[in-house]
Structure 1
Amino acid sequence: MLFLEIKTISTETADKAYLTEEGFKALDCTESELFTIKAGCNEVKVNLYRLNQSTNSIVGPRVQLYLPKITYKYLNLPESLALSALVDRPKKTIKIGPFLGYLITRNKRLRIPPFTTQRPMLQLFSKIAREYGVISFAFAPQDIDWPNRKINGYIATPLPDGNVLWRKDTFPFPDVVYNRVLNRSSERKDLINETVKNLQKVPGLHHFNPRFLNKWETHIILSRNPGMVEYLPQTALLRNFSDITEFLNKYGKVYIKPINGSLGANIIKLEKVPTGFQFQYRRKRKNQSGIWPDRLALQTELTKLLGRRLYVVQQGLDLLTYQGRVFDVRVLLQKNGSGRWTTAATVARVASENSIFPNIAAGGTAIPIEKVWESFTFGDWKTSEIRQKLLDLGSNVHKTLEEELGNFAELGLDVGISKTGHVWLIEVNSKPSRKVFPKNQPHLKVQSIINIIDYARYLSGFSNPQNNTGDYYESNLYTD
């Protein structure tokens, strides 16, 4: 694998590029040989010529490619960055990059680029991307210049004092777009929908995790797989009040969930008790609970709470608790630098006292799964039958969803474990949060970002597949 350092040269001839003598030897090419130079999804054909070294100063590595400034402009390359390129000699291609774009939405209330609450997280992504030789930048739909195939995005630039400056620059359409639109209301806007559809039409551009998952759609897709049925709680689209009473009569307790909800918002738990119907839900960051005495009160109050949203009604489950608190297991599935799925992390999310919501955004706490598992005296987590079931479940989930919905690079599975040891798939998230990692396991968060960067390099053609065996395996991320 041969890399070239990219330099500019003052000439107005756009169809020529220049190599040092060492470059010609390394590429084993001939004078005026035709090559294609690619940057992201943009490309130009040039003839390669020897650089007149007597009139040009050579600095740094001597295997260098010199491009005219007009070619830089045509490819929409950022002139302020140090660039390198990967050579594919058989295909006569020189590929500059790789370029990774983070698709975001712009927050009008913020005055500091890149105008998003994700700024700290994107800075960490950008830092790791730089360490892995990836040019990454953030952009919103308004930053795309479709006719000229360029993006006026923002790149995180480290400063000597340790701070980070987000600087505006010009970039080609990237090799890979990582969809970081993090709320459903933004995703539903016409501008975002149109942008995502148009990006997916760009030849050579890879776009992963393009949208949020709909709970009902996800259930229907997964239930078509015979290997998934045992993991899925009984679920139905809520059409009328009788659906709720039918589930309550059959299971004793049920969950009512918005099909497009996130972070535990607007979920209602109902349970039949001798004095009526016990309820629990969360509104405006506060947990609400009580008892509705009869079916009339149940129907009246639910009508007020549910409004016009679409919901599913789901079988209530008798799950294990940790120190008397509700918990679930978050399994983070990600693709790696080989394009293979891995289990990047498995952690427990424990609800706060008297809460039914283990979500971190609802006050839950992330705890190492090994610690929770030890509390049940079930033995070693790594060798447990439940862990193997989670691996099998993850394999089934990602294969089934990708067959129906397209390319994903990461999925978050929320799993419950019953008191009899049965594994239940509660929910699948296509935009999993990185706030889920335990504070004493920061390496899991870092590795989850490295996996995304590695996968972007893989899609861009800048990394070789590793010699992994099997279609599915778990990363060894439990050692410090």
Structure 2
Amino acid sequence: MSQPVLGILTLYLNDSGMLEEKPIYTRMILSGKKLGLDVFVFTPADVNYSTNRINAHIYDTESKSWSRRWRSFPHMIYDRCRIQKSHRFVQLRNFRQKYGHLTFLNRVLRNKWTVYRTMRKEVDFIPHLPMTQMYENSSDLTEMLRKYPLVYLKPINGTGGRGILRIEKQQDGYFLIQGRDQDRRIIRPQRASIAGVHGRLASWNLKDNRYIVQQGIQLKLPNGRVHDYRMLVQKNGIGEWEVTGCAGRIGASGSITSNLHGGGRAIKMQTLLTDWIKDEERADEVRLKAEELGVKIAAFLEESYGRLCELALDLAIDRKGQIWLLEVNPKPAREVFIQAGERETYKQAIIRPLEYALWLYEQKKRREKIAPAID
């Protein structure tokens, strides 16, 4: 019997052929071997469209070294490609168009604005969604600042805290602007009138760069640092959604985001939440409610956009215990759990997509026995 094969689809970070998550791929290949799953890594640039062969990245578990080898297409594809402004992303779009009929563990999720509008259609999610609108012109921002003392400006396709701005109304009527530029560099707080705010934002070209304006949630700790929670929801080995783990994140000094790449640090969720709410029993209730919400969100988005295998949800929890969904990330990293000291959760986060891939493979084989595969 042939061994099931999983291809991890990714993108080179640059033209020299650097892969972003090689240590994670190594762990997945090692774990896959123990499970009876053959795993290799490839990018759209490695595909020969004439022969339908792949010049794959192979990790030898005996010699502990990487090499290249021509392989046939895998039974399943695990898409780990993140958005890039490069020719490599054009290659990815071409690949998805040509090979979209293949079995993917996860389909493409839409941008922040589209996901928000989709989720607003489900009445149960509305209380958990900060008010958000597309930035079309300066009046959109002015209107949001009239309604809310704190707003965020976010690129609809941004990741890692890049290009996010925080604008907060002060008691004297002025506004405090701070954030991060496209290279994640911290923009120090600047005071301005409403006219000054629009003037300073003119160079950001918010409309052409496609930004959203989002209601802000007050999440500053007593030390002035912001915090939130990263929840990982994944399919398990029987194809069902489960919360693998959730960790707290505390932003760097002067940062408006908690992203680890921007200097933030991770902490156990229960520790941070209990300290924030000041009631351990209430913190337990909120955590369980957040987990229930996470599973519902994942199932709903899969129903809306097609097969998914994992999602990271960035959650804010205010002083009253109200849970807010800040963002959905379809290509989540796992390092937050290592940094929070949750090694078993980290291992589970790596293994679950592999277990799900094996389940999906078995389901497909059963269908093929009954009728020709349709996927």
Structure with greater helix share of residues: 2
Deviation at 1:326, TM superposition (A): 1.2
Number of the residue aligned with 1:279 = 177
Deviation at 1:446, TM superposition (A): 1.3
CA distance in 1, matches of 2:50, 2:231: 42
Number of the residue aligned with 1:105 = 11
Number of the residue aligned with 2:150 = 253
Deviation at 1:368, TM superposition (A): 0.7
Q: Does 2:310 align with 1:410?
A: yes
Root-mean-square deviation over aligned CA pairs: 2.4
Q: Among residues 24, 30, 33, which one is paired with 1:130 in the alignment?
A: 33
Conserved? CA contact 1:322–1:372, under 8 Å? no
Conserved? CA contact 1:236–1:314, under 8 Å? yes
Number of the residue aligned with 2:108 = 211
Deviation at 1:332, TM superposition (A): 0.3
Conserved? CA contact 2:83–2:89, under 8 Å? no
Deviation at 1:463, TM superposition (A): 11
Number of the residue aligned with 1:299 = 198
Conserved? CA contact 1:253–1:272, under 8 Å? yes
Number of the residue aligned with 2:44 = 141
Deviation at 1:375, TM superposition (A): 2.3
Number of the residue aligned with 1:90 = none
CA distance in 2, matches of 1:396, 1:368: 23
Deviation at 1:303, TM superposition (A): 1.0
Give SS of 1:208's match: coil
Q: Partner letter of residue 303 of structure 1? A: A
Number of the residue aligned with 2:187 = 288
CA distance in 2, matches of 1:106, 1:416: 32
Change beyond 3 A, Cα 1:303–1:391:
same
Conserved? CA contact 1:367–1:438, under 8 Å? no
> Aligned pairs, how many?
361
Task: List aligned pairs for 1:170-209, cutoff 5 A.
Answer: 170-185=70-85, 189-201=89-101, 205-209=102-106
Q: After superposition, what is the alpha-carbon deviation per residue over 1:40-74, rounded to whole angstroms, capped at 9, x for unaligned?
A: xxxxxxxxxxxxxxxxxxxxxxxxxxxxxxxxxxx
Q: TM-score, normalised by structure 1?
A: 0.70
Q: TM-score, normalised by structure 2?
A: 0.89
Deviation at 1:335, TM superposition (A): 0.4
CA distance in 1, matches of 2:288, 2:220: 18
Number of the residue aligned with 1:343 = 243
Number of the residue aligned with 1:120 = 23
Deviation at 1:212, TM superposition (A): 5.1
Deviation at 1:380, TM superposition (A): 5.1
Q: Does 2:331 align with 1:431?
A: yes
CA distance in 1, matches of 2:158, 2:13: 21
Identity of aligned residues (%): 30
CA distance in 1, matches of 2:44, 2:314: 31
Give SS of 2:71's match: strand
Q: Partner letter of residue 298 of structure 1? A: V
Q: Partner letter of residue 401 of structure 1? A: L
CA distance in 2, matches of 1:251, 1:151: 52
Number of the residue aligned with 1:367 = 267
Q: Among residues 460, 470, 473, which one is paired with 2:361 in the alignment?
A: 460
Number of the residue aligned with 1:226 = 123
- Flag structure 1 segments of 5+ consecutive residues without an equivalent: 1-84, 86-95, 466-480
Change beyond 3 A, Cα 1:330–1:267:
same
Q: Partner letter of residue 356 of structure 2? A: Y
Give SS of 1:445's match: helix
CA distance in 2, matches of 1:449, 1:275: 49
Give SS of 1:452's match: helix
CA distance in 1, matches of 2:111, 2:88: 12
CA distance in 2, matches of 1:418, 1:369: 14
Give SS of 1:424's match: strand
Conserved? CA contact 1:328–1:350, under 8 Å? yes
Conserved? CA contact 2:243–2:295, under 8 Å? no
- Flag structure 2 segments of 5+ consecutive residues without an equivalent: 367-375
Deviation at 1:187, TM superposition (A): 8.8
Structure with greater strand share of residues: 1
Give SS of 1:416's match: strand
Conserved? CA contact 1:458–1:464, under 8 Å? no
Change beyond 3 A, Cα 1:142–1:324:
closer
CA distance in 2, matches of 1:306, 1:188: 25
Deviation at 1:171, TM superposition (A): 2.4
Deviation at 1:183, TM superposition (A): 3.1
Deviation at 1:178, TM superposition (A): 0.6
Give SS of 2:336's match: coil
Give SS of 1:339's match: coil
Change beyond 3 A, Cα 1:233–1:168:
same
Deviation at 1:320, TM superposition (A): 6.2
Number of the residue aligned with 2:300 = 400
Conserved? CA contact 1:337–1:455, under 8 Å? yes
Give SS of 1:185's match: coil
For CA contacts below 8 A with separation 6 or more, give which structure has more relative contact order.
2
Deviation at 1:292, TM superposition (A): 3.6
Number of the residue aligned with 2:373 = none
CA distance in 1, matches of 2:211, 2:20: 29
CA distance in 1, matches of 2:224, 2:193: 29
Deviates most, 322-331 or 340-349: 322-331
CA distance in 2, matches of 1:353, 1:142: 40
- Structure exhibiting the larger radius of gyration computed from Cα positions: 1
Number of the residue aligned with 1:352 = 252
Change beyond 3 A, Cα 1:167–1:197:
same
Q: Among residues 118, 134, 137, which one is paired with 1:237 in the alignment?
A: 134
Give SS of 1:353's match: coil
